[in-house]
Structure 1
Amino acid sequence: MTSNSSPFKSILLRLGLLLAGLLPLAGCNMVVMKPSGDIAVQQADLIITSTLLMLVIIVPVIALTILFAWRYRQANKSAAYEPDWDHSTRLELVIWGAPLLIIIALGAITWISTHKLDPYRPLDRIDAERPVPADVQPLIVEVVALDWKWLFLYPQQGIATVNELAAPVDRPIQFKLTSSTVMNAFYVPALAGMIYAMPGMETKLHAVINKVGVYDGFSSNFSGDGFSHMRFKFHGMSESDFASWVERSKAEGSQLTRADYLALEKPSGKEPVRRYASVANGLYDAIVNRCVDGSKMCMAQMMAIDAAGGGGKGAIDGLASKPWGDEGQRTYVSALCTPENAGDFAPRNQAQQSPSQLR
């Protein structure tokens, strides 16, 4: 009795350990597989489809491995013993043909989904049953990743918020993203996949939220000491509630000037929600072009000068520079020319460059 019950007890013990190991998974948030935005839903469907296609190969291989190990064990004397067997055309067709078909199917699905779910591609549907109405304009949200908080600008509404994002349900959202210093990744799992935000660049994300609720958002790319607290709440609202939220932000908020932004972008963690009733004109473009303080030449101006042929080697000495950094040992270009030599420089390049580019 003892010898027969030992294997049974061993099996029960292993099953108990397996269940104990799976128990912590019961507390996992399954928002990635059960999201509330159509783009995230399509991404979840892609994960499920790809997994099932791969299981078509994985499950039979595991099952046959167990079957062969049991059937051809040393103790089974009735199993066929063919030491000279080395080839089977039918078996080779199954072994190579089935995985090849799976790879072709996965490749086709990946190719189609890569273009269909391109974050830069404007939405063509609200959900699986509703296309985007022709008269609906997307909500534009300009996102700035700061150290270590999120700034959201609403150019259509003229407001801004810190660590709070809101949008009406069933309305397309066009995110424009950049960063003040290092690279971050904007991620609302219930809404869509993550997209990087990088300094001096603008990335885009098109998405839509289909259910009213409050969802978690955060940075999914490590960016320093305060990274773990770089979180915000995303509010999916009805159109009327969103309009009320905008009006409340205008009533309760202050003005976001360029000076306020320069103070805000300094590193800080665990920032509370802030609301701004108005935003300085052109602030987001200045953030992207790295010239908020007004003492630097904007990147767009630099690129326009380069596109027009550049200042020329002879003009390098005429560049006005200013110290940059705490040490003051490095410099950056503050203007294309100094006030003293502006008259000498302008005749050579005025035909190619506008006055705004020369400032």
Structure 2
Amino acid sequence: MTPSHLLRPKGLSLLCATLFLSGCDMAILNPKGPVGAEEKTLLIAATVLMLLVVVPVIVMVLAFAWKYRASNEKAVYTPDWAHSNGIEAVVWTVPCLIIVVLAVLTWKSSHALDPYRPLDSAREPVTIEVVALDWKWLFIYPDQQIATVNEIAFPVDTPVNFKITSDTVMNSFFIPQLGSQIYAMAGMETQLHLLAHTPGTYAGISANYSGHGFSDMRFAAHAMGPEEYEAWIAKVKASGSQLDRAELQKLAVPTQKTPVAYYGSVTPLLFDATIERYMAMGKSGRELQIADAMGQTCRAGE
């Protein structure tokens, strides 16, 4: 049975708040990088602007219901009332002004937070190639020639340039505390540029439903100091495993709750081959180069 104190108004409010927030860790409102911080500011600004309409409407509904209740004999009864220039001016002018302000904010933020725009920094960025699989994330570090499954690492205060695709259905790459989700699609490359100011481990998720294992399609993003990052790179290289086309085909088999895996070496151009095998194209120098790297012949239209 439900405890009697939960049936009181205050108890019901607390119960509802608990139910709504029980699955939310408020990661978006606790950003750890410049992109996430800008998005938090935009989210709060847009919410406050919209509340300028919502809150007065709620207050007026309650006030009017109270003032014009049947038992209030002092309320003026005007059955023929139909129009007020003052009310019309308010209900049209205020929303229009809010829309103008929101339009300006949206235009500016759409350019400032463009996921394809590299972040300004004096430090050399880290490039990570991302491949969405069922139901796991594959990360390739082309400069270090290593790869990982469901785990990435990068130095703090260093831009990270993500190149993203999918070897299955459409998915969505998202690290909430760093900002900006972006889609991963087969045969296409999308880009995302992020940066972490604070060392720590941040949860990465799939933000687009992709089947039975979707809810467990998560990864850990470690923002580290330079020395710790170099030690992590060395640990991955020491794994001894190799990621080639055959191993990628094994990874592509749908699995759930896939554990973290390291690959100390990677076949060159594997990310490019994953994209181009979905594209209808004639043989070209680039295609032959990828075919040689994969140890197979690419046919036109493959």
**TM-score greater than 0.5 by the shorter chain:** yes
Partner of 2:161: 174
Q: Give the AA of the match of 1:20.
A: L
Q: Give the AA of the match of 2:104.
A: A
What secondary structure sits across from 2:27 in the alignment?
coil
What is the alpha-carbon distance in structure 2 between the residues aligned to residue 61 and residue 303 of structure 1?
Answer: 64
Partner of 1:16: 11
Partner of 1:229: 216
**1:314-343, Cα deviation, whole Å (9 max, x unpaired):** xxxxxxxxxxxxxxxxxxx9646xxxxxxx
Q: CA deviation at 1:84?
A: 3.5
What secondary structure sits across from 1:218 in the alignment?
strand
What is the alpha-carbon distance in structure 1 between the residues aligned to residue 195 and residue 156 of structure 2?
Answer: 7
What secondary structure sits across from 1:302 in the alignment?
coil
TM-score (norm 2): 0.87
Partner of 1:302: 282
User: Which of 86, 93, 116 matches 2:89?
Assistant: 93
Partner of 2:53: 57
User: Which of 110, 118, 133 matches 2:106?
Assistant: 110
Partner of 1:122: 118
Moved more, 38-47 or 22-31: 22-31
What secondary structure sits across from 2:148 in the alignment?
strand
CA contact (8 A) 1:185 1:195 kept: yes
**1:51-101, Cα deviation, whole Å (9 max, x unpaired):** 100111111111122112212222222222333433322221111111111
What is the alpha-carbon distance in structure 1 between the residues aligned to residue 209 and residue 68 of structure 2?
Answer: 51
CA contact (8 A) 1:253 1:274 kept: no
Matches within 5 A, 1:170-209: 170-209=157-196
What secondary structure sits across from 1:223 in the alignment?
coil
Matches within 5 A, 1:311-326: none
Partner of 1:315: none
Moved more, 248-257 or 102-111: 248-257
Q: CA 1:91 to 1:270, structure 2 compared with 1: closer, same or farther past 3 Å? A: closer
Q: Give the AA of the match of 2:8.
A: L
Q: CA deviation at 1:258?
A: 2.2
What is the alpha-carbon distance in structure 2 between the residues aligned to residue 245 and residue 300 of structure 1?
Answer: 39
Q: Give the AA of the match of 1:36.
A: K
Q: Give the AA of the match of 1:268.
A: T
The structure whose Rg is larger is: 1
Q: CA deviation at 1:18?
A: 2.3
Q: 2:155 matched to 1:159?
A: no
Structure 2 spans left out of the alignment, 5+ residues:
286-296
CA contact (8 A) 1:150 1:162 kept: yes
TM-score (norm 1): 0.74
What is the alpha-carbon distance in structure 1 between the residues aligned to residue 105 and residue 283 of structure 2?
Answer: 39
- The size of the alignment, in residue pairs, is 285
Q: CA deviation at 1:304?
A: 6.0
Partner of 1:72: 68
Partner of 1:313: none
CA contact (8 A) 2:203 2:220 kept: yes
Partner of 2:255: 268
What is the alpha-carbon distance in structure 2 between the residues aligned to residue 253 and residue 241 of structure 1?
Answer: 20
User: Which of 258, 270, 273 matches 2:245?
Assistant: 258
Q: CA deviation at 1:196?
A: 0.9
Partner of 1:41: 37
Q: Give the AA of the match of 1:220.
A: A
Q: CA 1:334 to 1:288, structure 2 compared with 1: closer, same or farther past 3 Å? A: closer
Q: CA deviation at 1:104?
A: 1.0
What is the alpha-carbon distance in structure 1 between the residues aligned to residue 229 and residue 36 of structure 2?
Answer: 22
What is the alpha-carbon distance in structure 2 between the residues aligned to residue 271 and residue 253 of structure 1?
Answer: 19
What is the alpha-carbon distance in structure 1 between the residues aligned to residue 284 and residue 97 of structure 2?
Answer: 51
Q: CA deviation at 1:148?
A: 1.7
Q: 2:230 matched to 1:243?
A: yes
User: Which of 218, 230, 239 matches 2:205?
Assistant: 218
What secondary structure sits across from 1:217 in the alignment?
strand
User: Which of 258, 265, 268 matches 1:281?
Assistant: 268
**1:117-146, Cα deviation, whole Å (9 max, x unpaired):** 11111123xxxxxxx23xx22111000111
What is the alpha-carbon distance in structure 1 between the residues aligned to residue 222 and residue 47 of structure 2?
Answer: 31
Q: CA deviation at 1:301?
A: 4.3
Higher RCO (CA < 8 A, seq sep 6+):
2
Q: CA deviation at 1:303?
A: 8.2
What is the alpha-carbon distance in structure 2 between the residues aligned to residue 209 and residue 90 of structure 1?
Answer: 50
What is the alpha-carbon distance in structure 1 between the residues aligned to residue 281 and residue 80 of structure 2?
Answer: 77
What is the alpha-carbon distance in structure 1 between the residues aligned to residue 241 and residue 119 of structure 2?
Answer: 34
What is the alpha-carbon distance in structure 2 between the residues aligned to residue 238 and residue 253 of structure 1?
Answer: 25
What is the alpha-carbon distance in structure 1 between the residues aligned to residue 88 and residue 281 of structure 2?
Answer: 63
Structure 1 spans left out of the alignment, 5+ residues:
1-8, 125-131, 292-298, 306-332, 337-359
CA contact (8 A) 2:158 2:196 kept: yes
Q: CA 1:83 to 1:259, structure 2 compared with 1: closer, same or farther past 3 Å? A: closer
What secondary structure sits across from 1:152 in the alignment?
strand
